[in-house]
Chains A and B, each alone.
Chain A
C-alpha cells in the first residue's frame, strides 16, 4: 500500500467496517489502530513524529473531536476550533482572538496547517512541542480559563470519551493522552499543493502567470530581501526577527521568553502559505491586507534598534508591488 494514500484508504476501511460491524473477527488488526503516514502535498518532506504519538486513524479522529469540543473550557463555550476555523485555514479572521467571557486576547491566531514542522510554537516560540502547547490555551484565563486535570475529570465522566481514548491509546483520558490526541490531530493537517508547488516541484511552467513569476523573482532577489527570512518550503526559516512594525512594541515578542532586550519586537517568522485565507496579518493582526504588508516592507518599516538589516526602503514600482502580491497569493491552497 502506498504510504501517502494509506491514511485515506484506512479511514475508508474504518468507516466501511463500522457500517457493517462484522469485519472485526476476520481482521486480526484493527485498522483504526494501525500507524498511518500523513497525506502530504507535493514537495513536502516527512515531518518529525514523536515515537510515543504515531498517527493512527483512531487517534486523529479523537483529536479532531476534542479540538472541536468546548468541553475543554471552564464554561463549555470555547473550543480550540473557536479560534482555528477550518474555512480560514485554521485561523479566525480577527486581529486578536476572542476567548472565554468575550475577552479579547493579545495576539493574532496562527494557522495550524503544517504545524507538524514548527520547531517551537507561538509567535514567541515559548513552547517546544504540539503536545505541550495544548496546555496553554486550556489554562490561559483569556482563552479557556480552565485546568487540564478538571478537563480530564469531565472526559472520564463522559459517556463516549473513555471508550474512544481506550481505542486510540489503550488508556483512560489523562493529561498525557489528551495532549497526545490533539497533537496527533494537528499533525494530520497540511496545506495543499499550490500552483507555486506545481511550478517548482512538477516543472509546470504554465502554473504561474507572468506577473506571479515577476513577483517570485522579486521575492527571491536581493532587491526585496524577503527570502532571507521567508525561506524553505513553508517560507519561514523559523528564526525570530524584528521586521520594523513599531518604534515601541506593546508586545515584547521573543523577549517575553528570553527576557533579553536584544529580542524585543522579534517574532517567529510566519509561514506565507494560505495568506489569501488568513488576513489580517502580523502578530497583532495590525495589517489588514497584503497591500498594507507590501507597503510596510516598501517603506523600510519603523526604526527599532533590533530591526533586521534586511528590512529597508525598497522603492518598488506600483507594478512590482502588484507582482509581489500576486506571487504571495499563488502560495495559497486552490
Chain B
C-alpha cells in the first residue's frame, strides 16, 4: 500500500522535475530568463520621475511581448523553444523558458512582438494567467485583431526648455506584424547543467528604445495612425537589449 503511493508520487514528481532524460538519453534542464526592464541605469517603475535627455517623464504602463526564443550553443547548434511567449514588465524579472539539452550556450535570439499566426489568433482560447489571454488593462486591438507588442504610457514634460513638470500624457502602442523585430545577442557563457542556475540574464533599456524620439512633440502613436514614430521605436528594439 505505502509502496504503491510512493510509486505514484515518484511518477508524479518525475513529470514536474526540472531535470530529465529525453528519448536520446541526453539530459535536459529547465532554463530561465532573467530580464530587467530599465530606464537608463534605473529599474523601471511606476513611481519615479525619469529623464530622457533632460526631459522628465513618468511611466504608468510598460509591457512588451517577447517570443520565438532560440538558444544558441557554443558550437552554433540552435535550440528553439516552441510556443514560449513572455509578457515582460517592470513587475516581473524571471521566467521559465523551457527544457533544453544541457551544455554550453553562448547566445539567444528572440522576437520583440509575435509571429503573425499568434498575433492574429483568438486570445480567449488561452487560460487566464497566460500572457496571450486577454489582459487587464487590455494589450490587444480588438477591432483589427492583433496584439500590441509594446505598450508605453505615462506623462512627459512638453515645455520647450524641458524645465516644467511631467504632466502631458504620452503613449506609444507598437503593434502590427511588420513591427516585430528580431533581437540577437551572442558572446555569453551560460552553462546549462544539473543543479546549475541555468539562467540567461538580460536587460531592456527603455531609453535606448526611445533613442531619436523627441518626447516633446512625438507623444503618441497607435502604430497605424503614426507609423513613422512606431517604426522609429521598433527599429531601436534590437539595440535596446543587452546581457546583464
Determine if A126 and B145 form an interchain contact, defined as CB atoms under 8 angstroms apart: yes
Q: Does A295 contact B (CB under 8 A)?
A: no
In the complex, what distance in Å separates the CA atom of A128 from the CA atom of B142?
A: 11
CB contact between A175 and one of B133, B145, B227 (< 8 Å): that residue:
B133
Q: Within residues 176 to 213 of chain B, which ones have a CB less than 8 A from any CB in chain A? A: 176
Complex interface: chain A residues within 8 A of B142 (CB) = 127, 132, 135-136, 138-140
A202 at the interface (CB under 8 A from B): no
Q: Which of A78-86, A143-151, A207-215, A275-283 is found at the contact surface with chain B? A: A143-151
Decide yes or no whether B15 CB sits under 8 A from chain A.
Answer: no
Q: Contacts A128-B120, A135-B134 hold; do A176 and B145 have CB atoms under 8 A apart?
A: no
Instruction: Tell me if B137 and A131 are in contact (CB < 8 A).
Output: no
Task: Name the CB-closest residue of A to B137.
Answer: A147
Q: Which of B20-28, B123-131, B152-160 contacts A (4 or more CB under 8 A)?
A: B123-131
Whether the pair A139, B138 counts as a contact (CB closer than 8 A) is yes
Report the Cα distance A259→B222, complex, angstroms: 13
A139 to B128, CA, bound (A): 18
Cβ contacts under 8 Å, B124 to chain A? 131-132, 135, 148, 174-176, 178-179
Return the chain B residue nearest A138 by Cβ.
Answer: B142
| Chain B residues with CB below 8 A from A176, complex form | 124-125
Please give the distance in Å from B123's CB to the nearest CB on chain A: 7
For the complex formed, measure the closest distance between the CB of A187 and the CB atoms of chain B, giving whole angstroms. Answer: 16
CA A256 to CA B135, docked complex, whole Å: 24
* Chain B contacts for A175, CB-based, 8 A: 123-124, 128, 133-134
Tell me whether B143 is interfacial, beta carbon within 8 Å.
yes
Count of B interface residues, CB-CB < 8 Å: 20
State whether A127 and B144 are in contact (beta carbons under 8 Å apart), knowing that A149-B134, A174-B128, A259-B224 are contacts in the complex: yes
**A135-B224 contact, Cβ under 8 Å, with A174-B124, A174-B128, A175-B134:** no
A127 touching B227 in the complex, CB below 8 Å, given contacts A175-B123, A176-B124? no
Q: Is A122 an interface residue (CB 8 A)?
A: yes
Q: Does B244 contact A (CB under 8 A)?
A: no
CA distance A155 to B28 in the complex (A): 43
B122 touching A131 by the CB < 8 A rule? yes
The secondary structure that dominates the B interface is loop
For the complex, would chain A's binding face be called helix, strand, loop or mixed by DSSP majority? Answer: helix
Q: Are B123 and A256 in contact (CB under 8 A)?
A: no
Report the bound CA distance from A149 to B135 in whole Å: 7
The one of B122, B224, B227 in contact with A129, judged by C-beta atoms closer than 8 angstroms, is B122
Distance to closest chain A CB from B222 (angstroms): 11
Residues of chain B within 8 A of A262, CB atoms compared: none
User: What is the CB-to-nearest-CB distance from A103 to chain B, in angstroms, rounded to a whole number?
Assistant: 16
Of residues 238 through 260 on chain A, the ones whose CB sits less than 8 Å from some CB of chain B are 256-257, 259
Partner pick for B144 among A126, A131, A149, A174, CB 8 A cutoff:
A126
Q: Which residues of B contact A131 (CB under 8 A)?
A: 122, 124
Residue total for A at the interface (Cβ-Cβ under 8 A): 25
Return chain A residues, CB-CB under 8 Å to B143: 122, 126-127, 136, 140
Determine how close the nearest CB of chain B comes to the CB of A234; give it in whole angstroms: 23
On whether the beta carbons of B133 and A257 are closer than 8 Å, the reply is no
Contact of A256 among B134, B137, B138, B144 (CB under 8 A): B144
List the B side residues contacting A139 at CB < 8 Å: 138, 142
From 169 to 209 in chain A, residues with beta carbon under 8 angstroms from any chain B beta carbon are 174-176, 178-179
Which of B120, B122, B128, B227 has the most A CB atoms < 10 Å from its CB?
B122
Tell me, in angstroms, the Cα distance from A175 to B143 when the chains sit together.
Answer: 16
Q: How would residues 156 to 175 of chain A score, 1 for a CB under 8 Å from any chain B CB and 0 otherwise?
A: 00000000000000000011
Q: Is B47 an interface residue (CB 8 A)?
A: no
Q: Known contacts A147-B137, A149-B134, A150-B136: does B145 contact A127 (CB below 8 Å)?
A: yes
A257 touching B144 by the CB < 8 A rule? yes
Confirm or deny: B140 has a beta carbon within 8 angstroms of a beta carbon on chain A: yes
Determine if B133 and A147 form an interchain contact, defined as CB atoms under 8 angstroms apart: no
Min distance, Cβ A173 to any Cβ of chain B, angstroms = 11
Question: In the complex the two chains form, what is the Cα distance from A129 to B142 in whole Å?
Answer: 11
CB distance from B13 to the nearest CB of A (A): 30
Min distance, Cβ B54 to any Cβ of chain A, angstroms: 34
Q: How far is the CB of A276 from chain B (nearest CB, A)?
A: 29
CB distance from A53 to the nearest CB of B (A): 11
- A144 shortest CB reach to chain B, Å: 11
Given contacts A126-B144, A127-B142, A147-B138, contact A132 B227 (CB under 8 A): no
- Pairs across A and B, CB under 8 Å, 19 listed: A124-B144, A126-B144, A126-B145, A127-B144, A131-B122, A135-B124, A135-B142, A136-B143, A139-B138, A139-B142, A147-B136, A148-B134, A149-B135, A174-B124, A174-B128, A175-B123, A175-B133, A257-B144, A259-B224
- For the complex of A and B, 8 pairs with smallest distance between CB atoms: A135-B142, A126-B144, A175-B124, A136-B142, A176-B124, A149-B136, A139-B142, A148-B134
Knowing that A132-B124, A135-B134, A175-B133 are A-B contacts, what are 19 other residue pairs whose CB atoms are under 8 Å apart, sorted by A's residue number?
Answer: A127-B145, A128-B145, A135-B123, A135-B124, A135-B140, A136-B143, A138-B142, A147-B136, A147-B137, A147-B138, A148-B138, A149-B135, A150-B136, A175-B134, A178-B124, A179-B124, A256-B224, A259-B176, A259-B227
